[in-house]
């Protein structure tokens, strides 16, 4: 069951997993937005938070020891903590359709969420709100979603270890892989302090550039040579994403799957899980394959799929207009 193709050769989208839809809202007034991953029939979920500056909603609910078994959507948003408001719009959209956890006379939609920091790009007073989350749901489809500078990846940047003037554009990417009867997919908004690395070659695909802005320098290599990072406020970055499978998993297994997805981030982003990142990955199991998940196999596959989504995010990204001083798109 091993996947021998490098992450750069993995295509597809998280919507290849039956039971998953994705919708973007891209803010026209400044580079920001949000992305919703809909599971209208409900999906078992887990989460793993590894960054030191996370911004999240309803992650405690996903603890295997806690009550609710299924979620109805996951929201990824720009706008820092303000962007969590977009989840309210997702809840409203689901409630209008009678989707949610039975609670007395109501059905309460369960919508965990995570945000990334993009407030330094454009007017920080403009950020995803409830209307943005609702619009993302309206746009959700089972077809492969757009990638790059859309949705939660609109204002994303990478390679910020030496300041925004030497950064490059990040974005949102997705990938999937079918092994036997099981499908695994990932979607990720890449807004990292670190560089994006092709794990097959070790090459910096997008990241901190030299002082002249001509080429990536390799952030970690520069630190090892003695170049000190810029002073950064905690929470100035963050990579957030979702992995999903149609295998039937428990909440505890989903939590482990989210942890395995972080291995994919560690292979493709360097450095990762810093004090200025709030890196968070959710895992979803729709169970549509009707088969139990082999956690050994899934743990081997998921990092490849997540790393592929990271590479696709920056390769599809486009420059910001007007761009912050020095921020460059890939290529």
Distances in whole angstroms, Cα of residue 230 to Cα of each of 160, 221, 227, 245, 304? 8, 15, 9, 39, 31
Tell me, yes or no, if 154 is annotated catalytic. Answer: no
Per-position DSSP letters for 305-323, written without gaps between them: HHHHHHHHHHHS----SSP
**Tally of helices (H runs) and strands (E runs) in the chain:** 5, 16
Strand pairing report for 280-285 and 240-245: parallel
Residue 49 phi, psi (nearest 5): -105, 120
Neighbours of 103 (CB within 10 A): 9
Q: Which of 44, 238, 245, 280 is catalytic?
A: 238
Distances in whole angstroms, Cα of residue 22 to Cα of each of 35, 138, 187? 7, 10, 9
The C-alpha atoms of residue 215 and residue 49 are separated, in whole angstroms, by 32
Strand pairing report for 70-77 and 33-49: antiparallel
Half-sphere exposure of 81 (CA within 13 A, CB side): 5
Lookup: tokens for 245 = 């499978």
- Residues tagged active-site: 238
């Amino acid at each position: 069951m091993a996947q021998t193709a490098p992450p750069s050769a993995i295509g597809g989208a998280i919507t290849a997993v039956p039971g998953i839809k994705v919708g973007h809202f891209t803010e026209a007034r400044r580079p920001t937005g949000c992305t919703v991953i809909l599971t209208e029939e409900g999906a078992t979920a887990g989460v793993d938070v590894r960054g030191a500056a996370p911004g999240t909603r309803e992650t405690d609910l996903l603890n295997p020891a806690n009550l609710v078994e299924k979620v109805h959507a996951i929201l990824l948003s720009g706008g820092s903590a303000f962007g969590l408001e977009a989840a309210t719009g997702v809840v409203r959209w689901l409630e209008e359709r009678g989707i949610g956890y039975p609670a007395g006379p109501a059905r309460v939609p369960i919508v965990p969420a995570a945000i990334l920091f993009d407030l330094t790009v454009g007017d920080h007073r403009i950020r995803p709100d409830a209307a943005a989350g609702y619009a993302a749901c309206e746009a959700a489809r089972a077809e492969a979603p757009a990638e790059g500078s859309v949705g939660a990846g609109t204002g994303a940047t990478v390679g910020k270890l030496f300041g925004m003037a030497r950064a490059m554009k990040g974005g949102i990417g997705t990938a999937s892989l079918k092994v036997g009867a099981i499908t695994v997919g990932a979607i990720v908004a890449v807004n990292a302090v670190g560089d994006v690395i092709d794990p097959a070659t070790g090459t910096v695909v997008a990241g901190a550039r030299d002082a002249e802005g001509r080429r990536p320098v390799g952030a970690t290599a520069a630190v090892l040579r003695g170049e000190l990072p810029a002073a950064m406020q905690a929470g100035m970055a963050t990579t957030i994403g979702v992995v999903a499978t149609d295998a039937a998993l428990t909440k505890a297994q989903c939590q482990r799957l989210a942890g395995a997805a972080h291995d994919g981030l560690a292979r493709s982003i360097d450095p990762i899980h810093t004090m200025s990142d709030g890196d968070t990955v959710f895992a979803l199991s729709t169970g549509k394959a009707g088969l139990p998940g082999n956690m050994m196999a899934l743990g081997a596959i998921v990092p490849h799929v997540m790393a592929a989504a990271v590479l696709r995010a920056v390769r599809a990204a486009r420059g910001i207009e007007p761009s912050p001083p020095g921020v460059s798109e890939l290529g």
